[in-house]
Every structure is written in structure tokens, then in C-alpha cells.
Structure 1
């Protein structure tokens, strides 16, 4: 009688130290299963923050500067999430800054000249139509470029380099170089400022919801891994990860709630409510800025899209081995068009944030943003060789890039020197990625 065959699987990695050796820090880190590149990036960000805080005499790590830093990062962070998928497929998009400028001008003309003739100024639907138009125009531009790349076989470098020039010129052509202002009152809130902050109470509500969702996601992931027989973290390690995530979220809420609204603004608010200001003014916190919440929502959505959907798996399969992906039945051309279309749509959303923040649509909007977006994705661990990249890493990379710029501004560094530093950081990030990939072989 023949015994049934069995398939032997390799033993699951254990987080416990080998017999005869005490558990050390290395064993604890392995049990936590933390991404070493992500930990290194957080460490680099901490060094940048502490270094600039020392050089600026304590002006960097203040609630005011950190709040402004988060707002400044939002636009680049949104585009960086899309750039991850572009680079993962072994492509590049040099036109993101120009697409932002073009869609920003379209949005400005739409809400300052076209829609007011239809239903007047400050209509409650103006900002909705403006945002939808920006996403649609940006998505169409990106899809056209993706179609040229996918179906005509033109290099993405050449297509998007041409797009950089074409859409920058188109931005000037929309208004023949004129600046369009002001923007709709509700639309301006998308750019931050005291009008675009949600306050202390709602910020705590957002923070608590984020903690609960994070804990639920960690526990669901643990249960799924255990259900499929994959190794899971020890319970103590799971608890440490949950505490770290919760501490980061609560810390962010405390920082944004420590930045007060300007005194004149608080006085106007109290007078508008019929309250007396004779006995002094209360402390009113900014709370989270709306563009920051938009960027975080995009980050969560893009993470889900890239890790939990068929489209995301196709993207990484194409980046890992394009020939094998096509032979396996993936419509690589259609996926490529969708990737560039998504990149363009995110540029449109970023255009809304940038235009609202300036309260004007200008021809210079988005200039050199392609440099910051690409650098953010690469610093965040996205490999130029394709197939590797994370959304969270790209958003942290955007924070690193914006921190460098913010710190240099506080130090009074000239704009040309800022560009030199950013360029050097980009080259260094690619070199580090090369060394990392060599170490994996």
C-alpha cells in the first residue's frame, strides 16, 4: 500500500534566540519584523529634524513649523504615491510638475471666470466641480501619455520630457500668462491656513479613529497570516508595534493642537459669535490641516490599491518581469495606461491643494515639483530597477525632502543652493538603493 505523499514546507522563522544564547536586541528587532529601510528612513528624518533644530536655535521643532511643514508636504506627498507605481513599472514621469501647473490654471479659470457666470461666486458646488475637473483633466493627460508609451512604444523618459514642455506651455496658453485669482472661498480650505484647519476636537476624533483603524488592520493582518499558516509576530512584539503606531498618531495630534490660531482671527471669530473679548482670548488650536488629511487619505487608498487589489499585483508583476507578466496573460499595455492615468489624476488633486494654498493659479505653480516627487519616491525605497516600492516610504521621503527645504529656508540658504542639496540627496538615494540591491543578491 502506497503512503500518501506529503509536501514538506520550510520551518517558520522563529523569533526566539538559539539555545545557549541569550536573546539580544537583534532578536527583538527580528521579532518586530520592522522594515530595515523604513527604520533607517525614520532615523534619517529624525537626524534632519534634530540637526536643523540645533542649527536654527530651536525654531525647527516648533508646533508652528511642523504644522506648516505638514501642509507643504501634502501636495508632493500625494503625487509621490503615484510616482511609486510609475517607477515600479520601470518607467519615469518627468511631467508631473507641468501637469500640476496646467490643471491648476484650468481649475483657476473654471472657478474664477466660467462657473461664476453660471451660478455666481462662492456657490457651494464650485469647489466640488473644480476638484472633479482637476482630477478628470489630469487623469486624461496622464492616460494620453500612457497610451503613447504603451501602444506606440516610445520611452517614458522621452514622452514625459516632452510633456514637461508641452503642458508647461499649455498652462501659459490657457490665460496667456495671466495669474488667475482669487479662488472660491470653500476651495481655499483645501490649501490649509486657519480656514483650512479642523480644530482640536475634530483632530482628536480623527486621531482616535486612526488608532482604532490601525489596530484593527494589524490584528486582521495577523489573523490572515495565521490562517494561511504563515509565521506571525509574538504577542509582545505585536503589542509594541501597536503602541508605536498609537504613540505616533497621538503625538501628531498633540503637535497640531499646540499651534494656536492668530489672535486677530480668534477675536474676529468671537465677535462674529457675539462673545465679549474684554476678558481675554481663549487658546484656539489649528488642529489638522485639510490638505494633510487629504494626503493621508490618498496614502491609505493607494496602499490598499497597491497591496490588496488585482491592479496592484499586476503593477508589481510588470515591474518584476515585464515579459513574464505579459506571457502570464496580464494586459500590460492597459495597465500602463491606467498607471499613468492615475498619476495624472493625482497631479490634478495636488494642483487643487497647491492652487488653494496660493489662492491663485500661476504659471510657475509646480515648477521643479517633478524633482521633489521623484526624489521622494526613491528616498522612500522605490527601486529604479522596478518591482520594489512602498507608498508609506514615498510619503516619508516627501517629508524628508520638504524638511530639507524648510530647514534651509529657516537658515537663509539661497534657492540655487537648495536645488544643489536636493540634487545631491537624490543621487545619494539612488546610490544607496544600488548598494541595497547588491546586498540582496
Structure 2
């Protein structure tokens, strides 16, 4: 019997996973994402996993993923924010008005290089102020976050409507639009440079983590396991870059570009899009939020408060001020998401961000953030957002009606919470 167990392939796989220290929850999410992609690729006759669709899927995920990273902090501290979609709309409206009405009135005409950065600053300040207001109401006036943000969902959606008089505002500044996705990319060469740098950083981070564990006399993985992780990271990063580079700019677009410069396009000339600037913004947000969560006092306080609010307060943590800070972060991230969402559309519309609160909360929960507080990861929330967008995009390509798409999304959210509850009971996590 002992020999049979030793030769069991499943036992060997478990030992490999244990040696590599893979997060079983992460593996489950990756597995679900792969299954979703393969199923829709079959149903769409291979159109789902084309470079073009992956590129579009990526830029469509960015705005929700950015907000989902902030929702992790909100839910970890045992709160909720139902107003993120409406707050995005208000920030988007403020930025659109700044670009098309306020700054031109000050003599900054369309195309001025200062328009985009000034508009973004206005949006970020708007998000920070509104987020701070929510945090003050929750933290200092002790109004439940559910009620505060439910009210915010109604208030800020209609504030955005009044700011624009119910009109669509645009076109937005050309520089601003480059943050939307297809209008601004690194190109093939720049994307390969980014990919190589990302590989070097990932490998260095893995090796530095090993050295830190050795320095603190913690157990470490075998050297071969570290190199396997480096190889997997390299394959994923370069594979992602290669896929985005494979999506070629349409010939008519290239022709117009050459004609605008007074040149003739060479016969057979092609050009790939590469990594969009909006994806770079998401990567930057993910890195910063991960560092905040793991390497700063603020991050430790957030997770400590979520784990046990009473104990955190007794230990000297100002949980009220912490709540304000968390909602300010959420507001700023809503503004950044508003930049990406409106830039991708090239204008501000009244329905921008509609139902994003559902998608953001679902992304965080699917990504492993515990509704009971105290547990969650940034990378999990981003992967959850990607799974949600893959479901919606796949269903749209198959021809599923929008109402049924929402039914599926709602069902997935409930199932994700159920799976989370079962997982915690089996692993003993509270």
C-alpha cells in the first residue's frame, strides 16, 4: 500500500505544488479563467483567443480592475462601497468639463499639452474629496458604509448628470485619449523592452525574496523550484507581450498616418499595437497597492483592523482615520478608472460606469477577498476582474442578451461567495 501511494501521480503533483508553494486559491482562479477562455473559444470558432480580442479584453478590464484593487482595502476593513460607478461618473464629468469648458475659457485651447494633466488632477481631487466625505461619514459619524455608499450611488450619478446638463461631453483632448487603450500604445519595440524589464524585475523579486527568507532563517524552496517560478513568470510576461504585439494596426489606419506626414506607406508594411498605456497604468496601480498592502504601516493597519477591529483600536490604531484614508484611496482609484473609461470612449456619457459597482465588488470577491474582512489580495482582485470581463465579452460574442449576461454575473458572484465560505471552513481560516 505504501508503494502504491508513493507511485500515485496525484501525490506527486501535490508534492510539486507544495514545494513550489502555489496558492491553491490562485490556482483555482487561474483554472477557472482558462476554462472560460477555452469554452468561449470553442463557441466562437476560435475568435475569442485571437490577438485582437485579447487586446480588447485587456483594455476593457482596466477600469474595473483599478477600482477592484481599492475595493480590496474597503472590504478587508469590513466595509463596502456601492457608489464606485457613480463616483467614476462624477469624476469623469468633472474632467470632461475641465477639458472642454473651463480650461479653454482660461486660454488653454484644444491640443494644449497642459489640458490632459490638469484635467486628471481635477478628477483625482474630486475623487479624493468625495471618498474622504464617505470615509468621514462612516468612520466619525458611524453611519454604516452600506447606507452611506448606497446614498452615494444615487447622489453622485445625478450630480454628474447636472454637471453636464444631461449631455454627452466631447471629444476629449487627444493626449487624454491616449490613456484609453487603443489610442495610445508602446508599439512593438517598446513592448518588448517593457517585457524584458518586467522579466528581470520578476526574477530579481523571486531571488530577493529567497535571500530575505534565508536571512531571517525561514525555510526556503529548493533552488530548482525558484527557477521554475522564474521560468513560469518569464513565459507569462513574454507570452502576453507577444500576443498584444501580434494585433496589427489596420492598413487603412496606417495609410492615413503616412498621408498625414506626407509620406507613402511601403508595400506590405505592418505594425503591431503592443501594450496599451492603460495597461501600464493598471500595472503601476497594482504594484503601488501591493506595496502598500505588504510593506507599509498603513497596509498592516488595514489588515489588522479587518481581522479584529476592537483589538486594533485597543492596540492604538486610529480606526476612524484609517476608514477615511481607505475611502480616499477608493475615491482616487475611481477617478483613475474614470480617466481610462472616458478616454477609451473619447467622450463623457451619462451612463458611464453604470453597474460598475456590481463588477468591482464581484471582482474583489471572486479574487478571494473575504466579506468578513481581514483577507484579500490585489492580484486576486485583478484576476477576478479579468474573469468577469471574459465572461461578459464571451457571452456578447456568442450573442447572449444583456439581461441574461447580468443574470450570469449575479449568479457567479453568489457562487464565488459560497465557494469562499466552503474553502475557509475546510482550511480553518476565519
Q: Structure 2 CA distance, aligned partners of 1:336 and 1:281?
A: 57
Give the corresponding residue for 2:16.
28
Q: Which of 151, 154, 163 is the matching residue for 1:165? A: 154
List gaps (5 residues or longer) in structure 1. Answer: 1-16
1:378 aligns with 2:341: no
* Residues 169-214 of structure 1: per-residue CA shift (max 9 Å, x gap): 1011102211111100100111112x31221000001101111111
**C-alpha displacement at 1:273, in angstroms?**
4.1
Scaled by the length of structure 2, the TM-score of the pair is: 0.96
Q: Which of 124, 129, 132 is the matching residue for 2:118? A: 129
1:407 aligns with 2:394: yes
Q: Structure 2 CA distance, aligned partners of 1:305 and 1:389?
A: 13
Give the corresponding residue for 2:192.
204
1:336 aligns with 2:285: no
* Residues 260-317 of structure 1: per-residue CA shift (max 9 Å, x gap): 001111112233444433x524110000111111111111111111111110000000
* Residues 113-158 of structure 1: per-residue CA shift (max 9 Å, x gap): 1111222111101111111111111011011001100001110101
SS of 1:364's equivalent in the other structure is: coil
Q: Structure 1 CA distance, aligned partners of 2:176 and 2:58?
A: 19
Q: Structure 1 CA distance, aligned partners of 2:242 and 2:72?
A: 30
Give the corresponding residue for 2:250.
262
Q: Structure 2 CA distance, aligned partners of 1:149 and 1:251?
A: 44
Q: Which of 379, 384, 387 is the matching residue for 1:392? A: 379
**C-alpha displacement at 1:21, in angstroms?**
4.6
Give the corresponding residue for 1:298.
285
Give the corresponding residue for 1:230.
218
* Residues 367-387 of structure 1: per-residue CA shift (max 9 Å, x gap): 000000000000000010111
Q: Which structure 1 residue ranges, 4+ long, deviate > 6 Å from structure 2?
A: none
Give the corresponding residue for 1:112.
100
Matches within 5 A, 1:338-377: 338-377=325-364
SS of 2:140's equivalent in the other structure is: helix
Q: Structure 2 CA distance, aligned partners of 1:399 and 1:306?
A: 21
List gaps (5 residues or longer) in structure 2. Answer: none
Contact kept in structure 2, 1:81 and 1:377, CA below 8 Å: yes
Q: Structure 1 CA distance, aligned partners of 2:241 and 2:345?
A: 25
Give the corresponding residue for 2:178.
189
1:97 aligns with 2:69: no
Scaled by the length of structure 1, the TM-score of the pair is: 0.94
Matches within 5 A, 1:241-280: 241-277=229-265, 280=267
Q: Structure 2 CA distance, aligned partners of 1:133 and 1:227?
A: 46
Contact kept in structure 2, 1:74 and 1:295, CA below 8 Å: yes
* Residues 217-250 of structure 1: per-residue CA shift (max 9 Å, x gap): 1111111111111111111111111100110000
Give the corresponding residue for 1:322.
309
Q: Structure 2 CA distance, aligned partners of 1:99 and 1:207?
A: 34
Q: Structure 2 CA distance, aligned partners of 1:432 and 1:382?
A: 12
SS of 2:174's equivalent in the other structure is: coil
SS of 2:225's equivalent in the other structure is: helix
SS of 2:349's equivalent in the other structure is: coil
* Residues 75-134 of structure 1: per-residue CA shift (max 9 Å, x gap): 001000000000000110000000001110111000011111222111101111111111
**C-alpha displacement at 1:216, in angstroms?**
1.1
RMSD in angstroms over aligned alpha carbons? 1.4
Contact kept in structure 2, 1:266 and 1:281, CA below 8 Å: no
SS of 1:24's equivalent in the other structure is: helix
Give the corresponding residue for 1:174.
163
Q: Structure 2 CA distance, aligned partners of 1:240 and 1:134?
A: 43
